[in-house]
Amino acid sequence: MKKNFLISVLFTLVTTVMFGIIYPLVVTGLAQVLFPKQANGELIVQNGKLVGSHLMGQPFTAAGMRAFRRSRRQIRARRFRRIW
C-alpha cells in the first residue's frame, strides 16, 4: 500500500515537471528558432516605434462593426431566452 502511494506521488511529480516545465520550454524554444516572427506576435513597428501586433488587430469598418455588434446582441438574446 505504501509502495503504491509512493509510486503514484513520484509519477505525479515527474509528469508535472516533464509536461509543466520541460515540454513548454522545448516547444517555445523550437517556435523561436523555426518561426521567430510568428512566435513573437508579428509585431508592427512604424518609424522605430512599436505600435501593435498584426495577429491581434482587426480592421472594422462602420458597417462591419454594426453587424458585429448586432450579431453579439442576438447571441445574448438567444442565451437569455434559453435560460428562462
Give domain limits for the chain: 2-44+53-83
pTM score, whole prediction: 0.52
82 has a pLDDT exceeding 80: no
Residue 50 near residue 43, CB atoms below 8 Å: yes
28 has a pLDDT exceeding 60: yes
Q: What is the pLDDT of residues 40-76, one digit of tens each?
A: 777 777 788 777 777 665 544 555 555 555 555 566 6
